[in-house]
Amino acid sequence: MQVFNFSAGPAVLPKEVLKRAADEMLDWHGSGMSVMEMSHRGKEFISIAHKAEADLRTLLAIPADYAVLFLQGGAIGENAIVPMNLLGDRKTIDFVNTGEWSKKSIKEAKKYAQVNVAASAEDRNFTYVPARETWKLSKDAAYVHVCTNETIGGVEYQWTPDVGNVPLVADMSSHILSRPIDVSRYGVIYGGAQKNVGPAGLTLVIARRSLLDRALPITPSAFHWKEQAENESMLNTPPTYAIYIAGLVFEWLLAQGGVAAIEKKNIAKAKLLYDYLDSTEFYRNPVAKSDRSRMNVPFKLRDEKLDAEFLKGAEARGMLQLKGHRSVGGMRASIYNAMPIEGVQALVNYMREFEKRHG
């Protein structure tokens, strides 16, 4: 049976990438080794890491004055690592609170700094992005932190905030590489790989080099961006196999025509699902239309007593992991880059059929 995996993360990867990894599993390019067995300092793996970085730079048009780091610790790790690396002699961090992932970042940052919540969408249950005019930024913040795609709430920035000369820091875990971005507008971009990039265990950090001299002395070396940048992310052993798979995903994206081409597909996929959701009262997505995520689409059935039956039927048809996050319930369809439009069409067909049966 054809299976479509709607997991929020770890999530679907391109079939072509998995096949290639399978082909190369026992013997990478005649080396006689699996990538998993290679020294991270050997010429084979160095070539893999260099290609992955170069392709990521091409995909996102990352300027030369930005460091690209392949680290560990995940985005939750970054919630502590970012303050340690960027506070310098400042005391305050500005946050925009758009949901569960923002809240986690805020909570962790409070261990290291004074936190100013410059704007919050809590008043409407985190269903929108507060307009820039409403943000109350502090005068001397070390940086402004945003989560540009709230994976649980399904809220996505469709614009890049202008915060003047203060560095803008973005957790892009769940939509990085889903659309073109202007990297130069950000001080730091970070994200865990397991949503749209590759396997869990790899964390991407893209940081403006001029910000790399602000780390607190307590910053652990493995998470010290400047030290890692000087060591090409090999101050410690990097997550080699995850970097290799991410590199294959980057190649796959380039073959698709790059991020602008994949964005077109993502727009079409999201439109298919949201148009259907908006055409019926049987299902509901609560997010403001202008701020809806193209990657994560949460929805509720009118009658939540039908949730279990909905999920069971979906699974029987090969549509997996549609259950919503435990904190919000309902359903969530994550439709990352590697989800083909056929998967979204199959979901909409099933939703329509289910509505006919129960509506």
Residues 6+ apart with CB under 8 A from 130: 96, 98, 119, 120, 121
Residues 6+ apart with CB under 8 A from 113: 83, 87, 90, 91, 92, 93, 142
Q: From CA 331, how far away is CA 136, in angstroms rounded?
A: 34
In contact, 168 and 25? CB cutoff 8 Å: no
Q: Is 213 a catalytic residue?
A: no
Of 167-206, binders to ligand PLP (CB under 6 A) are 171, 173-174, 192, 195
Amino acid at residue number 300:
K
Identity of the residue, 46 or 200, whose beta carbon is nearer to ligand PLP in the bound complex: 200
Q: Is 195 a catalytic residue?
A: yes
Q: Is 162 a catalytic residue?
A: no
* Site string (140-159) toward ligand PLP, x via CB under 6 A: -------x---x--------
- Smallest CA-to-CA distance from 143 within 100, 195, 207 is with 207
Identity of the residue, 203 or 285, whose beta carbon is nearer to ligand PLP in the bound complex: 203
Identity of the residue, 9 or 354, whose beta carbon is nearer to ligand PLP in the bound complex: 9
- Distance in Å, CB of 262 to ligand PLP, minimum: 18
Name the segment binding ligand PLP (CB under 6 A); options: 37-45, 73-81, 261-269, 282-290. Answer: 73-81
Q: How far is CA 247 from the centre of its chain?
A: 16
Q: From CA 347, how far away is CA 350, in angstroms rounded?
A: 5
Sheet of 203-208: strands edge to edge?
A: 66-71, 203-208, 188-192, 168-171, 141-147, 92-97, 114-120
Among 38, 71, 75, 168, binds ligand PLP (CB under 6 A): 75
Identity of the residue, 151 or 219, whose beta carbon is nearer to ligand PLP in the bound complex: 151
Q: Interface with ligand PLP includes 9 (CB under 6 A)?
A: yes
Longest dimension (CA), the chain: 62
Q: Interface with ligand PLP includes 74 (CB under 6 A)?
A: yes
Of 262-291, binders to ligand PLP (CB under 6 A) are none
Identity of the residue, 176 or 253, whose beta carbon is nearer to ligand PLP in the bound complex: 176
Structure token pair of residue 147: 């989560």
> Rounded to the nearest 5 degrees, what angle is found at the Cα of 268, between the Cα atoms of 265 and 269?
85
Identity of the residue, 99 or 343, whose beta carbon is nearer to ligand PLP in the bound complex: 99
28, 101, 225, 252: the catalytic one is 101
28, 55, 103, 195: the catalytic one is 195
- Distance in Å, CB of 75 to ligand PLP, minimum: 3
Q: Interface with ligand PLP includes 76 (CB under 6 A)?
A: yes
Position closest to ligand PLP via CB: 74
Segments in 222-340 forming alpha helices (H)? 225-230, 240-255, 258-278, 307-316
28, 94, 103, 171: the catalytic one is 171
Helix, strand, or coil (residue 192) = strand
Name the segment binding ligand PLP (CB under 6 A); options: 22-30, 125-133, 166-174, 324-332. Answer: 166-174
Helix, strand, or coil (residue 85) = helix
Among 66, 95, 101, 128, binds ligand PLP (CB under 6 A): 101
Identity of the residue, 53 or 171, whose beta carbon is nearer to ligand PLP in the bound complex: 171
User: If you compute the radius of gyration of the chain from its CA atoms, what whole number of angstroms results?
Assistant: 21
Name the segment binding ligand PLP (CB under 6 A); options: 29-37, 69-77, 132-140, 343-351. Answer: 69-77
- Per CB under 6 A, residues contacting ligand PLP are 9, 74-76, 101, 147, 151, 171, 173-174, 192, 195
> Which residues are annotated as catalytic?
101, 171, 195
